[in-house]
Each structure stands twice: as structure tokens, then as C-alpha cells.
């Protein structure tokens, strides 16, 4: 089993470009697995983890309800935001500047074949990272992602999650609000859940700006510990070098 995970930070990149790149990596792993099965070979499958920050964009998952987007696509254009229907689970989600998005593209045969465990460990990665900033984050029963003050009238989501998996290969992932402009969340019903607020790490700590590179380092530390993974940092792929 290959437990090395190749980390690439794509910087600020268009959602569709990044989605296409995810699909490319996802398909490359699937192709190896299919070849192994057909030819009874034992080629090693790689694992990837992409960090990225997207320009303003709204994405709707396979089970999502279009009515959870509260403005027209024309109004989105006036906000310099784009919109895509995507092939992950979950409902509607916003991505934008000040948000750390993580896309683990893993062959879970290298780790464990349990999607429920995979999601719980992703959540735990976020929970342990936020604990380093003095926040008690937790799961909310029946609601994906990571929350604060669960079970109170002040419950608020700080990290959204939505994944896709096929033959135990994952894609999509999490979006952690670090220095996010929370006004953009007012244009939708986040994850289709009414009456729940959204927050950002800088708001919770009462500061103007959090060092996002420090947050990424903490995320990788907890991710590698929880998944018992070896981290390998990779250079930007050629299509993302300007």
C-alpha cells in the first residue's frame, strides 16, 4: 500500500480548471486500478492532495436543490461570481477568497476502504486544526462539515464538505473559512440547511486576518497523523504555471 500523499498548492485558481485537473488525477488512479484488475498486475496507485483558493463561485451537488441559490445567475455575474453543477455529494456551497479548499484525491485501498471513516477523519483534521486556535469545533448529527456551538441557537458552520468516490478513489473535499467574506453566504441557503449561520476563523478570533499558510501546515500535520500518511510536496503542474 502506498501511503505517500503528494501535496500541491495551486494558489488562486478558477473552479472549473481545478475541477478538470481533479478529474484528470482521479481518472489516472482509476485507470491504474482497472489495469491491475484486468492484467492481474500490482502497479502502485498514487495519492494527491490539492490546496486551492477559488475566485467567487457557487457549486451545487448531485442531490442539491436549485432553489437554495437565492439569486439569479445574472445577479451572480454582477457579484463577479460563477456557478457550476458538480458531481459531488451535498447541496449548495460557496467558495471564494479567504477560504482554504482541500481536495484529497486518494486511493482508499492504500489506507482503508470505508467512506464513513474517510469523512470522519477529514472532519477530525479540521476539528484538531481549529483546536490549535482555541476553538471547540465538532460534528453536527445528520449535517456534514464542521460546526461551532452545536445544539445551541448559535450553531454555525465553519467548514463545508462534499466528496465523490468511485472504486475507493476520492475527489472533491472540504472548504474551511479562514478569512472569508461571509456576505457571499447570504446569497444561498448553505448546504440547503435553513436557519443556520456560517462563520470564519478570523471572525471567531476577532482579528482582521489569519495567516493561511500556518493553517495549511496545521491541516497537513493532522491529516498525515490521522491517515498515517507520508507527505510529499510537489511543484505546480505546468498548466497552472502562469
Please report the pLDDT score of residue 173 as a whole number: 95
Please report the pLDDT score of residue 190 as a whole number: 58
Residue 225 has pLDDT above 80, yes or no: yes
Catalytic residues, which ones? 191
Residue 213 to residue 194: CA distance in whole angstroms = 32
Residue 159 to residue 175: CA distance in whole angstroms = 5
Mean pLDDT of the 131-148 span? 93
Which of these ranges, 108-117, 151-160, 187-196, has the smallest mean pLDDT?
187-196
Residue 145 has pLDDT above 60, yes or no: yes
Higher per-residue pLDDT: 235 or 39? 39
pLDDT tens digit string along 174-214?
Answer: 999 999 999 888 887 655 555 578 999 999 999 999 999 99
Sign of CA dihedral 152, 154, 158, 162: positive
Give the 3-state secondary structure of residue 213. Answer: helix
Please report the pLDDT score of residue 195 as a whole number: 59
Residue ranges of the annotated binding site are: 88-95, 160-162, 173-175
pLDDT tens digit string along 59-86?
Answer: 888 777 777 778 787 888 788 888 888 8
Strands 137-140 and 57-60: unpaired
Neighbours of 223 (CB within 10 A): 23
Please report the pLDDT score of residue 242 as a whole number: 63
| Residue 133's pLDDT band (cuts 50, 70, 90) | very high
pTM of the model: 0.92
Closest by Cα among 181, 227, 179 to 49:
227
Sign of CA dihedral 141, 139, 23, 36: negative
Q: Per DSSP, which regions of the chain are E strands?
A: 4-12, 48-53, 57-60, 82-85, 92-95, 99-105, 137-140, 143-148, 156-166, 169-177, 197-198, 230-233
Residue ranges of the annotated binding site for substrate are: 88-95, 160-162, 173-175
Residue 9 to residue 125: CA distance in whole angstroms = 18
Residue 149 has pLDDT above 70, yes or no: yes
Under 8 Å between Cβ of 118 and 219: no
Mean pLDDT of the 24-45 span? 96
CATH class of residue range 4-240: alpha beta
What are the structural domain ranges in the chain? Answer: 4-240
Residue 185 to residue 210: CA distance in whole angstroms = 20
H or E element, residue 224: helix 212-227
| Residue 93's pLDDT band (cuts 50, 70, 90) | confident
Residue 198 to residue 168: CA distance in whole angstroms = 31
Amino acid at each position: 500500500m502506498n501511503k505517500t500523499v503528494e501535496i500541491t498548492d495551486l494558489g488562486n485558481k478558477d473552479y472549473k480548471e481545478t475541477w478538470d485537473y481533479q478529474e484528470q488525477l482521479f481518472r489516472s488512479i482509476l485507470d491504474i486500478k482497472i489495469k491491475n484488475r484486468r492484467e492481474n498486475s500490482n502497479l502502485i496507485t498514487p495519492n494527491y492532495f490539492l490546496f486551492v483558493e477559488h475566485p467567487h463561485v457557487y457549486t451545487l451537488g448531485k442531490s442539491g436543490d436549485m432553489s437554495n441559490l437565492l439569486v439569479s445567475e445574472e445577479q451572480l455575474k454582477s457579484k463577479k461570481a460563477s456557478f457550476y453543477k458538480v458531481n459531488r455529494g451535498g447541496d449548495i456551497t460557496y467558495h471564494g477568497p479567504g477560504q482554504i479548499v482541500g481536495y484529497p484525491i486518494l486511493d482508499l485501498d492504500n489506507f482503508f476502504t470505508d467512506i464513513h471513516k474517510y469523512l470522519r477523519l477529514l472532519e477530525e483534521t479540521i476539528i484538531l486544526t481549529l483546536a490549535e486556535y482555541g476553538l471547540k469545533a465538532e460534528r453536527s448529527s445528520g449535517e456534514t462539515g464542521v460546526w461551532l456551538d452545536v445544539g445551541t441557537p448559535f450553531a454555525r458552520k465553519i467548514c463545508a464538505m462534499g466528496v465523490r468516490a468511485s472504486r475507493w478513489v476520492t475527489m472533491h473535499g472540504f472548504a474551511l473559512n479562514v478569512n472569508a467574506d461571509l456576505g457571499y453566504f447570504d446569497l444561498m441557503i448553505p448546504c440547503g440547511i435553513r436557519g443556520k449561520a456560517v462563520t470564519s476563523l478570523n471572525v471567531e478570533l476577532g482579528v482582521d486576518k489569519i495567516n493561511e499558510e500556518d493553517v495549511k501546515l496545521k491541516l497537513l500535520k493532522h491529516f498525515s497523523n490521522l491517515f498515517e500518511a507520508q507527505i510529499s510536496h510537489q511543484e505546480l503542474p505546468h498548466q497552472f504555471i502562469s
